[in-house]
Structure 1
Amino acid sequence: MGLMSSVALLLLLLYCTATVFVLQIPSAAAAGTADGSEEWGYVQVRPKAHMFWWLYRSPQRVKNRPWPTVLWLQGGPGASGVGYGNFMEIGPLDSELKPRASTWLSKADLLFVDNPVGTGFSYVDGNDRTALASTDAEAATDLTTLLCHLYRSSSGGGKTRLQAGSPLYIVAESYGGKFAVTTALAALKAIHAGLLAANLAGVALGNSWISPEDSVLSWGPLLYQVSRVDENGLTRCDRQAQQITTLLKAKQFVEAERTWQDLESTVAGESNSVNFYNFLKDESLAASAAADLELGIMELKQRQRSLALASLGQSRRRYSSYLSSMVTKEGGFEGIMNTLIRDKLKIIPKNVTWREQSDDVFEALAGDFMKPRINEVDELLNLGVNVTIYSGQLDLICATKGTLDWVQKLKWDGLKNFTSKPRLPLYCNGGEAVGTQAFLKSYKNLKFYWILEAGHMVPIDNPCPALKMIGDITQSPAQ
């Protein structure tokens, strides 16, 4: 496996064999509920870099049978898995802190992390930006270091938080898909080196930013077909998408990221602010206003400069702002995370504040943001790892067409047979009478789910087929 350099493997060796770091707080670095159904804590994954994790154990566990664990990775980059994935999408409680009927906890234990460091409750000492991960591979090393600690015996109890024999599934959304494939390869290398006692059973990539080029090339044609842009808008979108292709071929990745931001602005202007996460909707005016306010549009003489900054900031915050816009509680989602949730956890340092998006994390990864990870998917498939790809029908930013296009670039020897396989219709509660909810195509260790009536956040938009899908992926005993 060519992902990790010898230096990265040496760092893993150092940190995976080190003693679990204990924060300078009144209690240990980990805490949890009295019944053991939840645990959370910090791991120092590098000098100055502290990653927060939260583990839920399923009440549906079947005794004497291996029980799967799902590691959920959020996108952004810089959006919080502990916040969004947990309370907005698949955790046991929803954003109103009420029980979620469609929680994935019924099919697996759930592990949420704030990744990369600097996201959510994770932090770097002194807000030192040089301690942030600057590549997907560095973020993967940090996550693998975290897994090393969680698979080791917890201090004093003699038990392991994650059992070596139970299957681990890395499930990701959006930019998290890039973290998922790089982390899976890093974890496999650590497993083979005897550093990590995990059983990596599969990777699932939900509406993932695996090939930025194929994603942006799909935007204009899709918006034209659904009447959100006309011929002129299609031409402008395609022109900028082709500019991105040229920059990527020249390996000018930072400039490609800037052009991607320009393209998003063009799409917004030509479509009258289509929502990037569900093309049947408009961009949230509330989210746009919040982004403008945060960026300080205060004086008329600075309006032009401020609007440019707002466009940049909105591109970075669009993902987290869309999720936060679904919260109706006074104070918003940041208010919930920094009061009720913080009070429950008790171990969050006083100088750490949960934010809906870390711009510092986004900026630190600017050099990798537009890089594809198709080769990493290929490598996992060729190693025999189970790979699932799922795509919401109504997504724009990682549109199904773009995802299908990068799948066709795989060099995996099973691709031709996979492509020729027929799709199977999938139904949910009520069966055929309710209508088709999804399609599935599968060959050997590759599965592809088309999830209907869903945009970028599949578990939110159409939770029933999403829950059935994760049960199928994990082969959960609780069916």
Structure 2
Amino acid sequence: MAVPYYRPLALLLPLVCLGLLHADSAASITAGTPDGSELWGYVEVRPKAHLFWWYYKSPQRMSTPGKPWPTVLWLQGGPGASGIGLGNFQEIGPLDVDLKPRNSTWLQKADLIFLDNPVGTGYSYVENDTLFVTTDWQQAADATTLLKALVREVPALQGSPLFLVAESYGGKYAATLGVSVARAVRAGELNITLGGVALGDSWISPEDFTLSYTQLLLSVSRLDDNTGDEANKRAETVKKQIAAGQWATSQESWNDLLDFIATKSGNVDVYNFLLDRGMDPVSVDSSTGSSLSNLQAKKYSTYLSSQDSGSNNTIDGIMNGVIREKLKIIPKDFKWGEQSDSVYFALVNDFMKPRINEIDELLSYGINVTVYNGQLDMICSTDGAEAWVQKLKWDGLKSFLSLPRQPLYCGASKGIKAFVRSYKNLHFYWILGAGHYVPVDQPCIALSMISSIIKSPAS
């Protein structure tokens, strides 16, 4: 299929303001391009708390009877990393950081919505610092309020199955938001079809990921037996603190473990264990003496930004330059940032909480749940993802685990690119040769995978 061609000059198209709208008591301002192919805006999800969203209509949208065109809502991690900037321009959106067409954009398969979520992330903002969310469920309530507004402001959503697709900490957003949306739909409060939830290298069970680090790094020679025992002891400390509900303390211990691993592994890159942290052009400098408790969130966005190393533009430059000028509605003197420290630290007492129960609830409703994981990820390792999946109480789990995996190929390239296992409404993809950022590391199989997940008419 021909790749949709997005002209960089489209950034200069005149703005169409759709004005101030109100939906379910949520004040909204929406704008877009004259042809309606893009819409964006703010929803005041709580008084003085504003979420920013951006919708793209796929050029490949089809009016096929019985096959409604799907919409993907992308949820970035961090917490506090900008989906409008990172997910859009660095991973799956129609344009890259140089504002040139991306051959592997997911817009070929679905309409796309990006969020700067929670409030305070990216272009989203609060008028009072007391309004940052402190729990994943508060985030879910805000995002559900936004969706209630978008159903009116983006008419295509009413006849389009919506898929929540998440990355990293965004998986915890997707779990809680998915349940919140499902409950709202069942209660008749939200007119939308939740097609499924897809969790990419997602921080669903901090305990299981933490316990996976030592064995993984021993198996790839980044730790040795002399350091493995100490790393395991530190991981067990995190486990005990989680069990005791010592959430902030367990996060500190987790950061201490990551500091220890960095020192003893030669600064392995936690997002791709084949790399050293210093190999990325904009990796955080460990010589500053700052602890990972302050830097781990920044590394999430700076790793993606390192993909710009061959670019003439930077993500910060375009988001505070040509993109801001295009959007027109960003508040005066407001500066976009890749990563919000305020959002990150506001979630300190929720960061280490698992969201396995929420996945069980989604499965019990019959909603499709997909887990996909990059083979080379450490921070949200495949071993950790497999471990939390095995804790599900879903009645189909035993049958799911007993099935063989199926190999997947992509395009004309040789060799297996992934494996998949599916049973009823649970699916698991093992993505080979990818780290934490599957669409960046393996764009071909990522595009093929999302097409299968959402059952795109453009498959």
The corresponding residue for 2:146 is 146
CA apart distance, 1:346: 1.1
Trace 1:322-333 onto structure 2 (pairs within 5 A).
322-328=303-309, 329=311, 332-333=314-315
The corresponding residue for 2:363 is 381
Trace 1:88-167 onto structure 2 (pairs within 5 A).
88-125=90-127, 128-152=128-152, 154=153, 160-167=154-161
Cα offsets for 1:179-217 (capped at 9, x unmatched): 001001111121122221110010000000000000011
CA apart distance, 1:387: 0.3
Structure 2 contact 71–157 (Cα < 8 Å) conserved: no
Residue 182 (1) aligns with residue 176 (2): yes
Amino acid aligned to 2:383: K
Match of 2:159, SS state, is coil
The corresponding residue for 1:414 is 396
Hey, what's the Cα distance between the residues in 1 that align with 2:239 and 2:401? 25
TM-score, normalised by the number of residues in structure 2: 0.92
Structure 1 contact 16–145 (Cα < 8 Å) conserved: no
Cα offsets for 1:432-455 (capped at 9, x unmatched): xx0000001000000000010100
The corresponding residue for 1:270 is 264
Hey, what's the Cα distance between the residues in 2 that align with 1:84 and 1:237? 32
Residue 445 (1) aligns with residue 425 (2): yes
Structure 1 contact 441–449 (Cα < 8 Å) conserved: yes
The corresponding residue for 1:300 is none
1:318 corresponds to which of 294, 299, 310: 299
Structure 2 contact 284–299 (Cα < 8 Å) conserved: no
The corresponding residue for 2:41 is 41
Amino acid aligned to 1:221: Q
Hey, what's the Cα distance between the residues in 1 that align with 2:207 and 2:292? 21
CA apart distance, 1:426: 0.4
Amino acid aligned to 1:421: L
Trace 1:361-440 onto structure 2 (pairs within 5 A).
361-430=343-412, 434-440=414-420
Structure 1 contact 17–195 (Cα < 8 Å) conserved: no
Amino acid aligned to 2:296: S
Hey, what's the Cα distance between the residues in 1 that align with 2:286 and 2:305? 12
CA apart distance, 1:55: 0.2
The corresponding residue for 1:58 is 58
Hey, what's the Cα distance between the residues in 2 that align with 1:109 and 1:474? 11
Match of 1:349, SS state, is coil
CA apart distance, 1:237: 1.4
Hey, what's the Cα distance between the residues in 1 that align with 2:345 and 2:277? 23
Cα offsets for 1:424-479 (capped at 9, x unmatched): 00001126xx0000001000000000010100000000011110111001111011
Match of 1:170, SS state, is strand
Amino acid aligned to 2:53: W
Match of 2:180, SS state, is helix
Residue 237 (1) aligns with residue 237 (2): no
Structure 1 contact 217–402 (Cα < 8 Å) conserved: yes
Amino acid aligned to 2:46: R
Amino acid aligned to 1:200: L
Structure 2 contact 98–313 (Cα < 8 Å) conserved: no
Cα offsets for 1:241-279 (capped at 9, x unmatched): 100000001000010011111111111101111011110
Hey, what's the Cα distance between the residues in 2 that align with 1:244 and 1:48? 37
Structure 2 contact 97–314 (Cα < 8 Å) conserved: no
Percent of aligned positions that are identical: 56
CA apart distance, 1:56: 0.3
Residue 259 (1) aligns with residue 253 (2): yes
CA apart distance, 1:313: 2.2
Hey, what's the Cα distance between the residues in 1 that align with 2:163 and 2:291? 37
Match of 2:215, SS state, is helix
Amino acid aligned to 1:313: N
Residue 21 (1) aligns with residue 27 (2): yes
Match of 2:104, SS state, is coil
The corresponding residue for 1:212 is 206
Match of 1:205, SS state, is strand
Match of 2:54, SS state, is strand
Structure 2 contact 97–313 (Cα < 8 Å) conserved: no
The corresponding residue for 1:32 is 32
Q: Mind listing any 5+ residue stretches in structure 2 that lack a counterpart? A: 1-21
TM-score, normalised by the number of residues in structure 1: 0.88
Amino acid aligned to 1:17: D
Hey, what's the Cα distance between the residues in 2 that align with 1:220 and 1:412? 29
Cα offsets for 1:142-167 (capped at 9, x unmatched): 00000000002x3xxxxx43432210
CA apart distance, 1:45: 0.3
Amino acid aligned to 2:458: A
The corresponding residue for 1:467 is 447
Hey, what's the Cα distance between the residues in 1 that align with 2:345 and 2:313? 27
**Count of residue pairs brought into register by the alignment:** 434
Hey, what's the Cα distance between the residues in 2 that align with 1:236 and 1:319? 26
Residue 342 (1) aligns with residue 333 (2): no
Hey, what's the Cα distance between the residues in 2 that align with 1:136 and 1:456? 21
Amino acid aligned to 1:443: Y
Hey, what's the Cα distance between the residues in 2 that align with 1:442 and 1:63? 29
